[in-house]
Amino acid sequence: MTEVCVWAPFARESVDLVLGDERVSMRRDVGGWWRGELPEAPGTAYAFALDGGDPRPDPRSRRQPDGPHGRSVAFDPNGFGWTDRDWAGVQLPSAVIYELHIGTFTVEGTFDAAVERLDHLVDLGVDLVEVMPVASFPGRHGWGYDGVDLYAVHEPYGGPVALQRFVDACHARGLGVCLDVVYNHLGPDGNYLGEFGPYFTDRYVTPWGQALNLDGPGSDEVRRFVLDNVAQWLRDFHIDALRLDAVHALVDDRALPLLEEMEREVESLAAEVNRPLWLIAESDRNDPRTVTRRTPDPDAGGGLGLHAQWADDVHHALHVALTGETFGYYADFADPGALAKVLTTPFFHDGTWSSFRERTHGRPVDTLRLEGWHFVASLQTHDQVGNRAVGDRLSRLVPPGLLAAGAAILLTSAYSPMLFMGEEWGAGTPWQYFTDHVDPELARLVSEGRRREFASHGWDSAEVPDPQDPATVERSRLDWSEPEQPPHDRLLRWYRALLTLRRQRADLRDPHLDRVGVDHDHAARTVVVTRGEHRVAANLGSKPALVDLGEATAYRQVVLAWDEGARLTDDGRLSLPGESAAVVGPA
């Protein structure tokens, strides 16, 4: 027998441990905790019943083979035979991140199938594989942001042991693993936490549902619920980094915010496991204090101390420069100075007016104190692709030459670049919003809401895929025959070459933003980025251009070019074909 416990302060009289048809009374302990004995037989199914009610899964369940509505199954994370004993971790500074969704990365949609594609990522040259959320949710298919059992791994992906196998396989190939986790809300279907205790609060509202109670009565245990979950992934599953979804929705009025407390505990855990551990935030606030380290120096300022954060403004400026789209939040980035600004500081809105928000937004970044690796930049992400009406990738919007130009600018930037699965070969498959809600009413509301949302933006509702239609997820799966076919194979070779050059030449991964120079001729559609002794030049126009590189004596050759017509002229300028890019530097 082994002890099992549950925090259930809302139970008035009793909590029963449900084993098959039997109910065994648990002992009341201090602080709202209840304790009992669970048989040690592997795979024991159990649940809790509060005050004689229906069985509910363990809020900290590590395995839900029948989904969030089913019973929990005992799982020992220490039973796995790890082979990564010599794994020293991954260094986030200079790392290249690759975001993927387990359910659509392969046809099978499992961790084990994803392992079969890891050698592709090694050959590509990425360092950190970011896996979208895997916490258990109802149904088979979904993005994962409506998870409800935060400690359990979605069973259709293979469950917890399959995740351990995946991480072990990544480490064997020199790849780190970052897991996307969602703490700002839980999905509505199968969410029983509110029956156990004050996990949620009505003091705050999120766009996705009830906010977690992080600062009200009973919030100590709620915060511990989150912090222990963080430790589980990093310790028991050997995860190297966590991407924290929408931290701006973690409303917390305490003197010691949850995120700062989380960073402190992760720092201690890193010392314990003897490898670096990283926290990467998604934040809509454009606030550098998210990644500003704590310091005793009052003049240096202080922040939450997280290691990195997504910088969507970089994406927006690149997207507008490549596509010309200026609707919605892209409108501000039509500013002729937007691209140059975001290549030298991560926030275009840094205390400036945002027409989309109809207010000033953001805070300036001290680029002398904060290096660029603290900011994750991208051309595409699951959000920026999947939240388009039809999930069309950049490869559907611009020709291959502009994809190559965008990649050259991103992958030689001072930031931590991130690719979205399939981007490296210009995947022809869309990535659409798909769900598999088992609650018919919720399914109907989601489908209708999606159509209404885009109809309000001028889209024909008939064009918007039904998230509940199985064809929507099928369309979103990568086609692994594409990388071997033109024109995809050429773009893949370009990405590989850029990442190789980034590793070989320190200039192209230098994180010091104050050393970056940008000359963007908005009218001519040419961009020249100074990276030490190198110049990264892009011609976003359709016609050839003669590009001034500045001090010509420093540049002796074209070291990489998308179009073989790129050449240096006798006076040190670069003749660059339309819709192409080149890197010029020392031999």
One-letter amino acid at 533 equals: E
Find where tokens 């259709």 sit: 156
Catalytic residue from among 58, 99, 189, 245: 245
Per the DSSP assignment, residues forming a β-bridge with 16 are 25, 49
User: Does the annotation place 245 within a ligand binding site?
Assistant: yes
Confirm whether 245 is a catalytic residue.
Answer: yes
Q: How far apart are CA 184 and CA 198, in angstroms?
A: 15
Q: Are 458 and 507 in contact (CB under 8 A)?
A: no
Is residue 308 classed as helix, strand or coil in its secondary structure? Answer: strand
Q: Are 313 and 341 in contact (CB under 8 A)?
A: no
User: Does the annotation place 58 within a ligand binding site?
Assistant: no
User: Does the annotation place 66 within a ligand binding site?
Assistant: no
User: Does the annotation place 307 within a ligand binding site?
Assistant: no
User: Does the annotation place 247 within a ligand binding site?
Assistant: yes
Structure tokens at 185: 């809300």
User: Does the annotation place 457 within a ligand binding site?
Assistant: no
User: Does the annotation place 314 within a ligand binding site?
Assistant: yes
Is residue 140 classed as helix, strand or coil in its secondary structure? Answer: coil
Per the DSSP assignment, residues forming a β-bridge with 176 are 128
Q: Which of 44, 70, 80, 273 shows the shortest CA–CA distance to 162?
A: 80
Catalytic residue from among 282, 371, 424, 579: 282
Quote the DSSP letter at residue 513: G
Is residue 306 classed as helix, strand or coil in its secondary structure? Answer: coil
User: Does the annotation place 527 within a ligand binding site?
Assistant: no
User: Does the annotation place 248 within a ligand binding site?
Assistant: yes
**What are the φ/ψ torsions at residue 28 (nearest 5 degrees)?**
-75, 135
Is residue 79 classed as helix, strand or coil in its secondary structure? Answer: helix
Confirm whether 267 is a catalytic residue.
Answer: no
User: Does the annotation place 534 within a ligand binding site?
Assistant: no
User: Does the annotation place 73 within a ligand binding site?
Assistant: no
User: Does the annotation place 246 within a ligand binding site?
Assistant: yes
Q: Exposed (0-12), middle (13-18) or buried (19+): which is 40, by Cβ within 10 Å? A: exposed
User: Does the annotation place 175 within a ligand binding site?
Assistant: no
User: Does the annotation place 385 within a ligand binding site?
Assistant: yes
Is residue 582 classed as helix, strand or coil in its secondary structure? Answer: strand
User: Does the annotation place 162 within a ligand binding site?
Assistant: no
Please give the C-alpha separations between residue 42 and each of 236, 482, 503, in angstroms, as whole numbers: 18, 43, 46
Q: Which residues are annotated as a binding site for substrate?
A: 243-248, 312-316, 382-387
Instruction: List, as residue ranges, the binding site.
Output: 243-248, 312-316, 382-387
State the catalytic residues: 245, 282
